[in-house]
Homo-oligomer: A and B are copies of this chain.
Amino acid sequence: MSVKTPVIVVNFKTYLEASGPAAVELARLCSQISRDSGASIVVAPPLPDISLVASSVDIPVFAQHLDPVPSGSTTGHVTVENARSSGARGTLVNHSERRIKIAEIHEVIDRCRKAELETIVCTNNLAVSKACAAMEPDFVAIEPPELIGGDVSVTTANPKIVSDTVEAIRSISGNVHVLTGAGVKNGKDVSKALELGTEGVLLSSGVVKAKDRKSVLQDLVSGLR
């Protein structure tokens, strides 16, 4: 695996504040913070910006979604090999905003393994987390519904949700790294996420929509120590 852990994964989603030239700008900021702090940071820009972002920064660039189809006569899809040609080093899979079929999750993981791309499969509860761990992606990012949205953070909510999921995933496979995929807003949340047994965090608006992105990122990476 080439992505170092613990890691902070920044999902740009399709926010216009992080699209086109603004995607390159945010990726460069993440890259600078990574260089300055030594922290491992991964960025997942909008799909149309992968090539340009990957040619602009040294930190790993991930796709937000890949289609389990072969390259060739598959117009309008993004294949694993397309992503690799464009400089991507991995991909999110089954994000809550882009759920896919179970056979597709397996096929994307399989194709990515062959193409040496890494996979972060997003899951919505304990049973689905175990199910996805059984397919042995590189990462499972757990998004307990209790932690999504609002002001609830992993430090204040019942932390047992996270540690129980980590344990359940461990019972299925020892090869899967777990990320805290919801409820992270600051460095303290990052610390707590690591303390609960996960090896990093996946977050989005906390960074993308921040007034002072640099300060937010510096605070987040401080939580990795």
Contacts and interface: CB of A to CB of B under 8 A. Distances in A.
A93 to B, nearest CB: 9
A188 interface: no
A102 B102 CA distance: 5
Interface in A1-33: 11, 13-16, 19-24
Interface stretch (A35-43, A64-72, A210-218): A64-72
A16 B85 contact: yes
Contacts of A11: 75
A124 interface: yes
Interface residues of A, number: 69
A100 B75 CA distance: 13
A106 B127 contact: yes
A49 B65 CA distance: 15
Contacts of A81: 14, 16, 19
Interface string A107-130: 000000000000000001101101
Contact of A106 (B83, B84, B92, B125): B125
A63 B75 contact: no
Interface in A79-114: 79, 81-88, 92, 94-106
26 contacts: A13-B74, A14-B71, A14-B77, A14-B79, A15-B72, A16-B85, A19-B71, A19-B81, A20-B87, A21-B85, A22-B85, A47-B48, A48-B48, A48-B50, A50-B51, A52-B52, A52-B55, A52-B86, A73-B97, A76-B98, A77-B97, A102-B105, A103-B124, A106-B124, A128-B135, A133-B134
